[in-house]
Amino acid sequence: MNTDSQIRLTAKLSRLWNDPREDVELTGLIHGLDARYTLLKKIAAEPGVEDILSQMLGRLARSFGSLTAVRGKRILDIACGSNTSKAPSRFRIRTPFGHLLLGRPRSGYAALFEPWFCRILLQLGADPVGVDFGDLEGEDFTHYRVDLGRSGALDFLPERSFDGIQDSRLFGSPEFTTQFPNQSDRLNVGREIRRQEQRLLKASGILIHSDAEALLA
């Protein structure tokens, strides 16, 4: 591992908590992600990966207060990303450090669309469940290949079974916008995702982030 890169990334991400006790957990997280998924190499090739990590860790900071607080939590990531997703030509992401407009990598393949949130949760000792239409073969977390544009697609998951839920990648993905070019159809999918989030979340659970909720606002 490139130690300088690890130190720089840890220093940047530690600003999300401003708590030195989190640095040890964060260092272990970055080391684990790099060892398993060549994180630092992907950041060097595609800077958007670092920004996606910042976004996702920022959500955990706001939702749970600390990295250790997610340990043992069962968390659902709807449209978690996959190992086959392609980036649109240009897209905007919001991170805790501001908005960024990113362009498509030359290869078209985008490492930032890999299932980083579930990987982060797994590394932190949580129990993540990822659902996506893309390929998740080889991932160590529980995952299901699901067409989220189909009504009732998540009915197989038990009610009130998750401590946390997020959806953040479905409505902006090029695959989804191609499948549902009409806004009315996207709204219908958004209503179904919100119904499922309300059904699946425990009474004490946390809605970490929902693009479906924002779409319907």
SS3 assignment for the chain: CCHHHHHHHHHHHHCCCCCCHHHHHHHHHHHHHHHHHCHHHHHHHCCHHHHHHHHHHHHHHHHHCCCHHHCCCEEEEECCCCCCCECCCEEEEEECCEEEEEECCCCCECHHHCCHHHHHHHHCCCEEEEEECCCCCCCCCEEEECCCCCCCCCCCCCCCCEEEEEECCCCCCHHHHHHCCCHHHHHHHHHHHHHHHHHHEEEEEEEEEEHHHHHHC
- The pLDDT, as a whole number, for residue 109 is 53
pLDDT in tens, 47-105: 789 999 999 999 999 999 999 999 999 999 999 999 876 554 444 444 333 433 444 44
Q: Can you list the domains of the chain with their CATH numbers? A: 3-216 (3.40.50)
The pLDDT value given to residue 31: 94
pLDDT at residue 2, as a whole number: 64
Kindly report, residue by residue over 2-16, the tens digit of the pLDDT: 688 888 999 889 988
Name, of 2-6, 15-19, 142-146, the range with top average pLDDT. Answer: 142-146
Mean pLDDT for the stretch of residues 18-42: 91
Least confident of 19-28, 87-96, 106-115, 135-144: 87-96
